Structure formats: structure tokens, C-alpha cells
Structure 1
């Protein structure tokens, strides 16, 4: 349940941020009157709203097992023994060209 506790703490922090941005909007203005400070407050409001939406998506994905990270698949062991050289008879040596031809 540590993940859920962390998500709840993040949600509380985002809610507090949104309250603080609301108070800031009341002091500076919401942008309807113009001015550089009001424009900056609108940007902060948009960023805070985006953060709220991102946290909501994160919480939803943490609850949905289909979206949650999948379990690690079994590892495949690759042997250290050399490969059968007959597997490579129809291929060129990469970067060297074919053995029966020479570079132009």
C-alpha cells in the first residue's frame, strides 16, 4: 500500500497547490484585466491544472491492473558455445564483403 499512500500524499499536495494558486489569482488577477503578472498567473493556473490531470491519470493507471507494469517474463539463457557455422554459409562477412569479390 506504499504506492497508494504516496499517491494520496501527492494528491493532497496538488490540492494545496491549487488552493494557493486560487489565492494568488485573487491577489494578482485572473488575467481578464491583462498585465504581465496576470498572464504569469494564468500560466501557473494552466500548469497546476495539467499537474492535477496528470496525477489523476497516474492514480487511475495504478488501480487498473491492465495498465500496471507487467510481470517480468522468464529469462532466456543464451549458451556460450559457438554457433554452427553452416548457418552462415549464404551470408557475407559484414563490412568485409564477399570472400570471392574485391572492392572497386
Structure 2
């Protein structure tokens, strides 16, 4: 099966997802986070760097659970426009924004 190239919107969404996960992980070790989520550290590194722009849902669900992020918050964050995402990053800490 041939995979179609990603659209620019999919690439941007993947970059926002990676940035969100990096911020939420904070000082927590990438290795421990990955192991707790049941994914390889390499997979987590690729997601955080945006190299895997469209990871599988169970992978994101497991990582989000380990980081204490709701899937609604993750979905909302990665689908914001660049201006909205920058406003939220600048004016609202991750813990306050995503803990609900």
C-alpha cells in the first residue's frame, strides 16, 4: 500500500502535536515517558520532532494519558490556527490549560 504525501495542514498539525507533547512532558525523561506509554523512545522522539505527523490514535492516547492530557484538549490544541496556538502558549501555562 502506497501512502499519500501529507498535506501542509497535516504537517503543521503534527508539528503542533509534537510541540504540545514536549511542553507537557516538561523535565520528565523522554525514555520514562515512552516506556510508561508503551511506545518506543524513538517513536516518541519522532512524534515530538514532527517527523511522524499523523501518529496512530492509540499511540497518542497512551502518551496523553501518561502526561495527564485529555484527548479533547490535545485535539483542540493541534487544530487551532497558528495565531490562536501562539496566543494560548504565550498567555496560558500548559498545566492550567490542559488539566481540565
TM-score by length of 1: 0.30
Q: Which structure is higher in helix share?
A: 2
Rg comparison, structure with higher value: 1
Q: So what's the TM-score if we normalise by structure 2?
A: 0.31
